[in-house]
Amino acid sequence: MKKKAGIIFMGTPQFAVPALKALHKNDRDVTLVVTQPDRPKGRGRKLTPSPVKDAAINLGYTVIQPSSVRTVEFSNCIEKNSPDFIVVVAFGHIIPKNILTIPKVATINVHASLLPKYRGPAPIQWAIINEEKVTGVTTMLMDEGMDTGDILFSSKLEIASNDTLDTLYYRLADLGADLLIQTLNAYETGDIHPTPQNHSLATYAPMLKKSDGRMDWKLPAESLEAFIRGMTPWPGAFTFHEKKRLKIFKAKTIFSDTEAPPGTVIKGFPDELWVSTGRGVLSIREIQEASGKRLLIEDFLRGYKLPPGTHLH
């Protein structure tokens, strides 16, 4: 009977969990799971394990949480396991060459974009923000660059007009899990044909910071609607009324002519909030004041007045 290929799995957030579960479901030999150390979370700053750690323990796998992947101890641990494959899914750290070259067959990465577009740590957010109609997942051979390795397989997925980071994230995670199994199966059958990326077509999806969520009302309404969807739930789209921060969760484009400067509240129905933009009008549907709850706009406006002529910035 042919010996199963040994796999070391490296991943951290919820995005990586379906891939780990798919390996388990398909009876793959996962010899070790590597994830980031527990992090303080919430108001109590309690140390919390990563979603991958939780899943791996529930599946009965051995888990390690190195503080660095560049130590001799970590390298020795990986070599001792003598893996056929290392599978990396949103691990969160750049993996050095001496680790990438340890597996007997390959180090494979599952990336949430159609490479070479949207290399980097935030491909899902930027695909939505940039109003893409289609995205997907790519499996590739890892090299020392940032998502620059040869492509193995890719699979497309349409972005719905109401997709947020939250909704698209989970669909892409499931797609990535399926593509990973397809990739490993292809290695077994010998039907694997790595294809170099066309680096001239590459785009980059940089990490988002909380401050990146500030809305620029000079942009067209459609772009701002997409921006809000790409920023939800994190880091969150926001604007200011005077010195008060308002977080916006949902909005809809209205093609209405207005000469009001961008960011100006314009006249609408009493239970609606319409704001002029660089082109068109944005109707705010869900909003939250800094110290309040997330509310439908009609509920919010009962206690917070934003009359026509008010300027948001």
Cα separation, 167 vs 114, whole angstroms:
18
Q: Which amino acid is at 4?
A: K
Q: What is the pLDDT of residue 2?
A: 63
Q: What is the pLDDT of residue 295?
A: 97
Task: Of 288, 290, 259, give the one whose Cα is nearest residue 273.
Answer: 288
- How many structural domains is the chain composed of? 2
The model's pLDDT over 75-129, given as tens digits with 9 standing for 90+, comes to 999 999 999 999 999 999 899 999 999 999 999 999 999 999 999 999 999 999 9
Query: Has residue 312 been placed in a domain?
Result: no
226 and 92, same structural domain? no
91 and 66, same structural domain? yes
Task: Of 139, 174, 137, give the one whose Cα is nearest residue 155.
Answer: 137
Q: In which band, very low, low, confident or very high, does the pLDDT at 16 lie, cut at 50, 70 and 90?
A: very high
Query: Has residue 309 been placed in a domain?
Result: no
147 and 39, same structural domain? yes
Domain CATH for 20: 3.40.50.170
Q: In which band, very low, low, confident or very high, does the pLDDT at 233 lie, cut at 50, 70 and 90?
A: very high
Instruction: Give one word for 309, left, alpha or beta, with left for phi > 0 and alpha for psi -120 to 50.
Output: left
The model's pLDDT over 249-276, given as tens digits with 9 standing for 90+, comes to 999 999 888 899 999 999 888 899 999 9
Question: Token pair 């919430």 is at which residue?
Answer: 42
Cα separation, 222 vs 281, whole angstroms:
9
34 and 157, same structural domain? yes
Q: Which residues contact 190 (CB under 8 A, 6 or more apart)?
A: none
DSSP H or E run through 106 = strand 106-111
The per-residue pLDDT of the chain, averaged, comes to 96
45 and 176, same structural domain? yes
Cα separation, 128 vs 109, whole angstroms:
22
Give the rounded percent of residues in the chain with a pLDDT score beyond 90.
92
Query: Has residue 311 been placed in a domain?
Result: no
220 and 81, same structural domain? no
188 and 220, same structural domain? no
Domain CATH for 279: 3.10.25.10
Domain boundary among 201, 232, 261: 201
63 and 128, same structural domain? yes
Q: In which band, very low, low, confident or very high, does the pLDDT at 1 lie, cut at 50, 70 and 90?
A: very low
Query: Has residue 313 been placed in a domain?
Result: no
Domain boundary among 151, 177, 201: 201
Query: Has residue 176 been placed in a domain?
Result: yes
266 and 183, same structural domain? no
Half-sphere exposure in the Cβ direction for 50 (13 Å, CA): 23
Strand order in the sheet with 85-89: 63-64, 29-34, 6-11, 85-89, 106-111, 134-141, 151-158
Residue 264 sits at the vertex; the CA angle it makes with 259 and 266, to the nearest 5 degrees, is 70
184 and 113, same structural domain? yes
44: pLDDT strictly greater than 50: yes
What Å distances lie between residue 308 and 32, 300, 312, CA to CA?
Answer: 60, 16, 11
Q: Which amino acid is at 156?
A: K
Q: Are 53 and 35 in contact (CB under 8 A)?
A: yes
Domain boundary among 178, 201, 224: 201
270 and 248, same structural domain? yes
Residue 68 structural domain: 6-201
- Work out the widest C-alpha separation in the chain, in whole angstroms: 76
183 and 49, same structural domain? yes
The model's pLDDT over 160-204, given as tens digits with 9 standing for 90+, comes to 999 999 999 999 999 999 999 999 999 999 999 999 999 999 999
Burial of residue 196 (CB within 10 Å: 0-12, 13-18, 19+) is exposed
Q: What is the pLDDT of residue 257?
A: 80
Question: Token pair 């888990």 is at which residue?
Answer: 63
The model's pLDDT over 52-74, given as tens digits with 9 standing for 90+, comes to 999 999 999 999 999 999 999 99
Structure tokens belonging to residue 282: 């944005």
Question: Token pair 């199966």 is at which residue?
Answer: 185
Query: Has residue 53 been placed in a domain?
Result: yes
